[in-house]
Structure 1
Amino acid sequence: MNYETILYAEDGPVGTITLNRPDDGNMFNATMCHEIRDCIEQIRCETRTRVVVITGAGDKFFCIGGRKDGMEDSTLYAGTLPTLEMYDAIDKLQKPVIASVNGYAVGGGNVLQVVCDITIAKESAVFRQVGPMMGSFDAGYGTWYLEDLVGKKKAKEIWFRNPKISAQEALALGMINQVVPDDQLAAATRAMALEIADRGPFALAAIKGAFHARHGGVAGLARVAHDLLLRSYLTSEESKELSSSFAERRKPDPAKFGK
C-alpha cells in the first residue's frame, strides 16, 4: 500500500502506520485522515495483521494537530477536517491499536492517542490539549474518551487550562499505559505488540467490540452482534442443521443442534 502522507509496513503479525509529515509536526491534513482511515479498512479485511501500531516519523513529534491544507473555505462539510472518520476507523477496528508516542502529542494528536486502545510513550514525550487557546475544541472523542481515562474533573481541567503534561504525569493520570526510555520506545512497542498478538484474535475482537459498544449506541451494539456473536453462531451445529433442513425442505433434527 502506497500513500502520500503515511507509511505502512508489516513485520510478522504487527502492522505499523507512521504519520509521515515530520517537517510539519506530523500534523493531520485531509489527505492523511483519509489515508489512515483507508489503511485501517484494508487491515480490517486481512488476517495477517493481529496488532496495529500508530507512531510518528522522526523523534520530536507524534502529532501536533491538524491543518486544513487545500480544503474549501466553507463551514459546510467540505471545509471540515475529516478527523472523525479516522478516529472512528480506529475505534471500530477489530484488532488492538497501540499508540507509540515518540514526541509531542498535541491537540488532535493527543486525541489520536486517547482513541487508541493502548499508549506507550518515551520519557520525553509531552501531551497537551490546546483547542480553547486557539478557539477550537473536540466535543466528542477528545472529551468523552479522555473523561473515561482520567475522570471528569481532570478532563475538564485539561481542556479548560491546557497544561503541558509530561509522560510520567500522563502515566500517573491513567492517560497512557507505559513510559520507557527514549531509546527503547521502538523495542518496547514491538514487545508489547507481539505479546498481544499471541492472544486469541477472536477474543480480542470481542473485547474491543464490547468496549466500543458502550459509546457506540446502536452502531456499537450492532458491531458486536454482526462481527462477533453472529460469526460464532453461524458456525454452530444448530445453525448448520437449520440451514440444511431449510434447503432440503424437511423438519430440522433437534438431536443435531449440539449441546
Structure 2
Amino acid sequence: MTEYEDIRYEEKDHVATITFNRPEKLNAFRGHTYAEVTDAVHRAGWNRDIGVIVLTGAGDRAFAVGGDSTEKKSDRVGHGRGTVGIPVEEMQTAIRDVPKPVIAKVRGYAIGSGNVIVTLCDLAIASETAIFGQAGPKMGSVDPGFGTALLARIVGEKKAREMWFLCRKYPAQEALAMGLINHVVPDADLDDEVDRWCREINDLSPTALAIAKRSFNADSESIRGAGLLGFQALALYFGTEESKEGGTALRAKRNPDFRGAMT
C-alpha cells in the first residue's frame, strides 16, 4: 500500500508515526484498518532509517476503541484474511516482530482492541485524559491470545481477570500503577514527551535494541501459538446468536441479553 484510507503515515527524524484516523468513530477498527496498520508497521519496521514507531489516534477523544460496531462479526467470518475474517493476528504479529521499539501515544479512550494494542506495544505514554479497559464480553467478543495472556504478565493475573471479567474503565494514573503504561503527562505535554523518548531511543544502537526486543519477546512467545488456537475457537463463537447479541443490542439501543440468546 502506498496510500491509506483509515490511517495517516509520517516519517520524520527517524521516527515513523502511524495515526489511526477515524476520529468520527473514536478510531474504531474495521477490517481494512487492521490491514493498513499491519502494512504501515512493516513499512516502518523494516526501514533501516527508522528507529522508533509511534502508534496514536487522531483527535483528542480516543486512541482506539476496538472493533467498529457497524461491521457484523458473523458477516466477516470466512471472508478476507485472518481467522476471524479480519487480520487481527497479522497486526499483532507485526507489532511484536518488527525489530524496532513501538510506542503507544495515548489520548482519550484505549478500550477493547485499543487496550490490546497498548498491551502489545513495547512502551506506552499517556496523557492524563487517557482511559483504559476491555469491553469484549459486553459485545460478545474476547482476545484469546496476547490481549489476555500477555496482559496478565504485564499487570498481574488478578488484575487482568478483573479487566476482562468486569469490563471496567481505568484512568491513566491507575493504568500506570498497575504497570500497563510507562508514563503519564498533562495532555499539552504528551507530544513533546513522546518526542523526547524517541530521541533518546534513536541515540542508542539499533542492533542492540533489536536483540533486546527479540529477547523480551522470546519469554512470552508461547502466547502466539495459544492465541492462534483461541482465534479458531473465536471464529466459531462469532457465528452464534450469543456473540451476535452484543452488536444487535447496541444497534437497537437496548441492553444485551446474552443468556437469552444462548437458548
TM-score range for the pair, normalised by the shorter chain length: 0.7 to 0.9
Q: Which amino acid aligns with 2:3?
A: N
1:106-148 per-position Cα deviation (integer Å, ceiling 9, x unaligned): 0011001110000000001100101111221111011111111
SS of 1:73's partner is helix
Q: Which amino acid aligns with 1:202?
A: T
Partner of 2:75: 73
Aligned residues of 1:10 and 1:16 also touching (Cα < 8 A)? yes
1:157-198 per-position Cα deviation (integer Å, ceiling 9, x unaligned): 111011110000000011100000011111111111111111
Q: Which amino acid aligns with 2:19?
A: T
Give, in whole Å, the separation in 2 of the partners of 1:81 and 1:74.
7
Aligned CA RMSD, in angstroms, stands at 2.0
SS of 2:11's partner is strand
CA distance change for structure 1 residues 10 and 74 in 2, over 3 Å: closer, same or farther? closer
Q: When the two structures are aligned, how many residues end up with a matched partner?
A: 220
5+ residue gaps in structure 1?
A: 221-259
1:208 has 2:213 as partner: yes
Partner of 1:95: 100
Aligned-pair distance for 1:75? 3.5
1:17 has 2:22 as partner: no
Aligned-pair distance for 1:44? 2.8
SS of 1:179's partner is strand
CA distance change for structure 1 residues 118 and 161 in 2, over 3 Å: closer, same or farther? same
Aligned residues of 2:146 and 2:223 also touching (Cα < 8 A)? no
CA distance change for structure 1 residues 70 and 129 in 2, over 3 Å: closer, same or farther? closer
Partner of 1:86: 91
Partner of 1:32: 33
CA distance change for structure 1 residues 218 and 48 in 2, over 3 Å: closer, same or farther? same
Q: Which amino acid aligns with 1:31?
A: H
Aligned-pair distance for 1:217? 4.5
Partner of 1:224: none
Aligned partner (choices 91, 103, 110) of residue 105 of structure 1:
110
Give, in whole Å, the separation in 2 of the partners of 1:165 and 1:159.
12
Give, in whole Å, the separation in 2 of the partners of 1:219 and 1:135.
22
Map 1:212-231 onto structure 2 (within 5 A).
212-217=217-222
Aligned residues of 1:167 and 1:179 also touching (Cα < 8 A)? yes
Aligned-pair distance for 1:93? 0.7
Aligned residues of 1:65 and 1:106 also touching (Cα < 8 A)? yes
1:143 has 2:148 as partner: yes
Partner of 2:161: 156
Aligned-pair distance for 1:80? 2.3
Aligned residues of 1:33 and 1:83 also touching (Cα < 8 A)? yes
CA distance change for structure 1 residues 132 and 117 in 2, over 3 Å: closer, same or farther? same
Partner of 1:47: 48
CA distance change for structure 1 residues 25 and 219 in 2, over 3 Å: closer, same or farther? closer
Aligned residues of 2:96 and 2:120 also touching (Cα < 8 A)? yes
Aligned-pair distance for 1:65? 0.4
Q: Which has the larger radius of gyration?
A: 1
Map 1:148-187 onto structure 2 (within 5 A).
148-187=153-192
TM-score scaled by length of structure 1:
0.80
Aligned residues of 2:150 and 2:223 also touching (Cα < 8 A)? no
Q: Which amino acid aligns with 1:36?
A: V
Aligned residues of 1:16 and 1:55 also touching (Cα < 8 A)? yes
Aligned residues of 1:213 and 1:219 also touching (Cα < 8 A)? no
CA distance change for structure 1 residues 217 and 160 in 2, over 3 Å: closer, same or farther? closer
Give, in whole Å, the separation in 2 of the partners of 1:55 and 1:218.
25
CA distance change for structure 1 residues 77 and 178 in 2, over 3 Å: closer, same or farther? same
5+ residue gaps in structure 2?
A: 226-263
Give, in whole Å, the separation in 1 of the partners of 2:223 and 2:57.
33
